Amino acid sequence: MKNKLIKIIKIPRIEDDCYLCFAENNKHIPFKIKRIFYIGLPVLGLSRGKHAHRKNKQVLFCIQGKVRMVLDNGKDREEVILDRPETGLFLDKMVWHEMCDMDEKTILLVLASDFYDEKDYIRNYKKFLQVTNRK
């Protein structure tokens, strides 16, 4: 079955004495990057995320370790494991997402289309279902 929610973005990976990955606005990343953030040293067994964004779009790279990403649009629920630095996951606006099964080495690098704004978050799943009109 075709994935509706999982949109993988492959970026170049150059190999010489190490690897080097890169991404450019509008070429690999489908928006103008306004913000980056990264997440590391997770508490093992705890998932993060558990929210959706009203407008903000993101591309997420697991540049070390692994993460199981669970995506949900209020109707479909899909998941994917990210464990390669050249493999990005496009997270559209209004997609509920959870980061699970991170290991002690996991580092997630996130590129975002907007500046941080707490009002852009929907952190309550029931509210998310209401906003997506799929109660």
Q: Hey, which residues are catalytic here? A: 51
**Binding residue (CB under 6 A) for ligand TYD from 10, 13, 35, 75:** 35
Residue closer to ligand TYD (CB basis): 2 or 126:
126
Stretch that binds ligand TYD, among 13-21, 31-39, 55-63, 77-85 (CB under 6 A): 31-39
DSSP code, position 132: T
Among 5, 21, 29, 49, binds ligand TYD (CB under 6 A): 49
Give the integer Cα–Cα distance in Å for 37 and 112.
Answer: 8
In this structure, how many other beta carbons lie within 10 angstroms of the beta carbon of residue 60? 22
- Picking from 63, 55, 10, 58, the residue whose alpha carbon sits closest to that of residue 31 is 58
Residues of this chain that bind ligand TYD (CB under 6 A): 35, 37, 39, 48-49, 116
